[in-house]
């Protein structure tokens, strides 16, 4: 049974959401993740970028988490504490995010799926709250661009659901978008 505190917080959050009219994103803008369907999602934030490298090369950099600082100011590192060859489902890492003009924050994440063949990595945020309260997943994938040899596209998106997702929608969406773009 959820604790009384959790229930009271939920009621407050939902009433607040209704009062200030937090609206979920339009369905056509939702990008689903393995456990957050388009139907259930509250919001999505995503970014994509075209790169002059094969998907294999970009993927190798992507999973070289210690080197993030070389290409992203906002996410200087993701620490899985083990070497990249051993990345697998269930591994927990700590992502460091540096918001503009603020001090770094760290967020624990858990890999829920990784495919070396399709160059897809999915993790979820470990919030300490049950999945039915808030579930936020991030997909990252790299695909070769058809008809453009030597070019690929990196895509990433966060999608979230649950009552607390309305708070995220309200407080964090802009920040998440900035981090993805950074």
Residues that bind ligand NAG (CB under 6 A): 34-35, 112-113, 124, 131
Residue 158 CB, shortest distance to ligand NAG, in Å, is 15
- In angstroms, the Cα distances linking 155 to 8, 21, 26, 66, 152 are 38, 30, 20, 20, 10
Nearer to ligand NAG, 50 or 132 (CB): 132
Nearer to ligand NAG, 46 or 162 (CB): 162
Residue 99 CB, shortest distance to ligand NAG, in Å, is 27
Residue 112 CB, shortest distance to ligand NAG, in Å, is 4
Nearer to ligand NAG, 68 or 164 (CB): 164
Residue 41 CB, shortest distance to ligand NAG, in Å, is 14
Residue 81 three-state SS = coil
Helix (H) or strand (E) holding 103: none
CB-based contact 115:136 (threshold 8 Å):
no
**CA nearest 64: which of 42, 46, 79, 47?**
79
């Amino acid at each position: 049974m959820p604790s009384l505190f959790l229930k009271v917080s939920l009621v407050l959050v939902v009433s607040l959401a209704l009062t200030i009219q937090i609206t979920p994103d339009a369905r056509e803008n939702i990008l689903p993740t393995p456990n957050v369907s388009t139907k259930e999602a509250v919001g999505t934030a995503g970014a994509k970028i075209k790169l002059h490298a094969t998907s294999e090369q970009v993927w190798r950099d992507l999973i070289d988490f210690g080197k993030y600082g070389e290409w992203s100011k906002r996410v200087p590192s993701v620490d899985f504490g083990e070497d990249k060859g051993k990345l697998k489902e269930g591994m927990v890492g700590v992502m460091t995010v540096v918001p503009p003009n603020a001090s770094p924050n760290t967020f624990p994440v858990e890999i829920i799926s990784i495919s070396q063949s399709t160059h897809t990595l999915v993790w979820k945020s470990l919030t300490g709250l049950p999945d039915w309260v808030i579930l936020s997943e991030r997909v990252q994938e790299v695909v070769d661009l058809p008809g453009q040899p030597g070019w690929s596209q990196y895509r990433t998106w966060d999608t979230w659901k649950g009552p607390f997702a309305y708070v995220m929608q309200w407080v964090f969406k802009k920040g998440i978008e900035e981090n993805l773009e950074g």
